[in-house]
Each structure stands twice: as structure tokens, then as C-alpha cells.
Amino acid sequence: MPNLIARALSPFFVLRFALAILSGSALRAELVWTPSTGWTVEGGVLSGLIPEEGRNALASMNKARAEEQNGSHSSAMSRYESVAKKYPNSIFAPEALYRAARIRLERRQYFKAFDSFQNVVSRYPNSPHFNEIIGDQYRIANALVEGARNRYFGLIPGFKNRAKGITYFEKIVETAPYSDYAPLALMNIAQGHQKLDEPDEAIDALDRMINHYPQSLLAPDAYYKLAETHASLVQGPYYDQASTRQAITYFEDFLILFPGDSHVPAVDKGLIDVRNTFAESKIKIGDFYFYKRDNYKAARVFYNEAITSYPDSATAGVARERLADVEAAETKARTPDVPRPQPKHKSFWLF
């Protein structure tokens, strides 16, 4: 028992206990760098380390910064990452990870840079660099979607990887859903999927954009792109019209919600095209029942739908002509056949 009490009262354990209690103050401290003094801890009581560890970490940070400024980027990066690994709970760790990630970004090591930035915002969400990091991650994702190549060891270019850029944009939306970058990321996710010829995934991203951020300045563009993407899936009047109906809905919603937007002329044209296709599809079905099945009732239903869906179009005029043909055919079908008079045969008498 005396040994336990003595151990508990030793300076080392007292200091550790104080560190635990004052960890909040340590986290609120700020690590500041100036050319004259180097790195210093300001605004807090502790650095999160016992004095000896704090001095070692501070010395390593200053050496790394000197190497960084002298152009020894590889050495600086390794030293920063060593500090973060050795002192993960200190005030030095998030700054060290951030500086290392910045160096990797400059070397175009996009994959490792993004992961290092993500470590900072995931493990140290109170980092003063949070917004800067999200911005850097956005630039990395955008570069990859645009076709930039990740460099291995900062030298060897890899293959283009747009899918990785899309994954990074999704991570930005997950990490910072209330930031200005989230709606931008969703728009870029849609664009990336379109470049990869994945329209369904693009539609999903645009749908999330307008549902989660309806007040965003990007909402009109999202509605327009959503309608455009659905319209691009329309294959013509002979095919399923699900995409046509969706395109009509989003074009019409756009005109209601954003009547003064610059996209209005393009939306008007797009709406005319898809409405005309939809009306034509009804005529094609009506023609099948009329000409192939003599089903006048079904034919009339579809011709009327063609007129209702786009009443002022030339296609509606064709549907009205078809309805007249149906009426004539029905009238003829209801009229009983009148037997034709048989010619009289001459009688010959034989005497």
C-alpha cells in the first residue's frame, strides 16, 4: 500500500493526471509558426505531452519545417508523419499530418494526399484547417475526375482513375454535408458518372442534390441536368416511355421553379422534343390496335392520349385524323351488308 501511494503521488503520475484533466485546454491550444520563432504553442496550457516529449516533438516539427523550406520535401514529409505517428494525441499531430498532406499534394500524390487530409478531419475535426482541407480534397477529386494521373513516389504517373475521383467526392459529402462544397461535390459526381457513361448513377447524384440542397444556387443547374439526362435515355416512340415521362416532369418543374433562368430556352426546346416523342408513342400503340387488331375502342383511347399529352402539336393533328378513320371504320362495321340484286336469267323454251 505505501508503494502504491508513493507511486500515485510521484511527479510523473501527477503530471499525467493533470494532462488528462486539462486535455480540453490542450486541444484548445494553438500551434503557431513564424519565421523568427519557429513553431510555438499559444492560447493553451499544455501541448498534450509531458515536457520532454513536447520538446522532442517541437524540435522535430521545426526540423521538418526547415527541410520543407529548403526543398527537401521527402525528408520533411517523413518527419511530419513520424511526429503524427509518435505523438497522436498531441497538438502537433494534426498540424504534422496537414503539412505532410500538403507536400504530397504538391507532388501530385493525390491518393495519399487525400487519405492524409481525411485522417486530419476524421481524427481531429476541430482542426483550424478543416475548411482548407475540404477545399484541397475537392481539388484532388476534381483533378482525378478531369483525368489527372496520380503520381507514385511523386514521380511515376499512374493511369487515369475517374472512379476514384467520384469516390472522393462522395467522401466530401459524407464528411462535410453542410459545407459549400457538398452540393458542388454532388454536381461533380453526376458529371463524373456521365463521363463514365453511367446515367443512372448520375441521376441519383442529381436527385440527391435537389432534395438535400433545394436552396442552393446550383439547384437550377441540377434540375436542368436531371431533365437532360432523362431525355438522353429516350430511345424513340417505339420504346418504353418511362424516361420520357421523367424528362417531361423535370422540364416542367424547372419552368415553374426557375422561370427567369438562362436555361429556359433550352428547357422549352427539350420539353417540346420529349412531349412530341411521348405523343408519337401513343399514336404507334393506337395504330397497332387499329390496323393490326381492329380494336377500335383501344385505338381511340391511345389516340386521345396523344392529343391530351400535346394538344397543340402536329402529332395531335395526326391523332385527330386517326380518330376520324376509326369512326369511319366503326360506322362501316355497324352497317349490315345489303345483298346485291341478282341478275335475271333468260328462260329458253324448247318446242
Question: How much is the pLDDT for 56?
Answer: 85
pLDDT of 46 > 50? The answer is no
In a domain, 151, yes or no: yes
Report yes or no on 185 lying in a domain.
yes
Average pLDDT over residues 79-96: 91
Average pLDDT over all residues of the chain: 86
Three-state SS sequence of 80-99: HHHHHHHCCCCCHHHHHHHH
Grid cell for residue 168:
472522393
DSSP-derived pairing of the beta strands 30-34 and 38-42? antiparallel
Percent of the chain with pLDDT over 90: 70
| Residues 88 and 151 both lie in one domain | no
Q: Is residue 1 part of a domain?
A: no
Distance of alpha carbon 243 from alpha carbon 82, whole angstroms: 54
Note whether 148 and 85 are same-domain residues. Answer: no
pLDDT tens-place string over residues 92-131: 999 999 999 999 999 999 999 999 999 999 999 989 999 9
**206, 241, 268 — which closes off a domain?**
206
Considering the domain architecture, whether residues 33 and 74 belong to the same structural domain is answered as yes
Q: Are residues 80 and 138 in the same domain?
A: no
Assess if residue 226 is contained within a domain: no
Q: What is the rounded CA–CA span in Å between residue 76 and residue 103?
A: 8
Question: What's the one-letter identity of residue 35?
Answer: P
Phi then psi dihedrals of residue 229, to 5 deg: -65, -45
In which residue are the cell numbers 437550377 written? 220
Query: How many domains, the chain?
Result: 2
> Which residues constitute the domain of residue 119?
108-206
pTM of the model: 0.79
Residue 202 has pLDDT above 90, yes or no: yes
CATH number at residue 199: 1.25.40
Contact between residue 198 and residue 205 where contact means Cβ atoms under 8 Å apart = no
Which grid coordinates are listed for 36? 523568427
Does the structure show a pLDDT above 80 at 90?
yes
pLDDT of residue 295: 94
Domain end marker among 53, 83, 106: 106
Q: How confident is the model at residue 7 (pLDDT cuts 50, 70, 90)?
A: very low
Q: Are 145 and 191 in contact (CB under 8 A)?
A: yes
- The pLDDT-based confidence of 36 (bands split at 50, 70, 90) is low
For residue 330, tell me if it sits in a domain. no
- In a domain, residue 335? The reply is no
| Residue written as grid cell 503520381 | 151
Dump pLDDT digits (tens) for 212-255: 999 999 999 999 999 999 999 999 999 999 999 999 999 999 99
Q: Where among 206, 227, 254 does a domain terminate?
A: 206
Residue 340 belongs to a domain:
no
Q: What is the CA radius of gyration of the chain?
A: 37
pLDDT in tens, 246-286: 999 999 999 999 999 999 999 999 999 999 999 999 999 99
User: 79 and 118 share a domain?
Assistant: no
Residue 317 lies in a domain: no
116 lies in the same domain as 197: yes
**Neighbour-count burial of 230, counting CB atoms closer than 10 A to its CB (0-12 exposed, 13-18 middle, 19+ buried):** buried
Element (H, E) at 328: helix 314-334
Cβ-contact 326, 290 below 8 angstroms: yes
Count, residues in the chain = 351
* Residues 57 and 147 occupy one common structural domain: no
- Same-domain pairing of 201 and 132: yes
pLDDT of residue 97: 95
Contact 229, 206 (CB under 8 A): yes
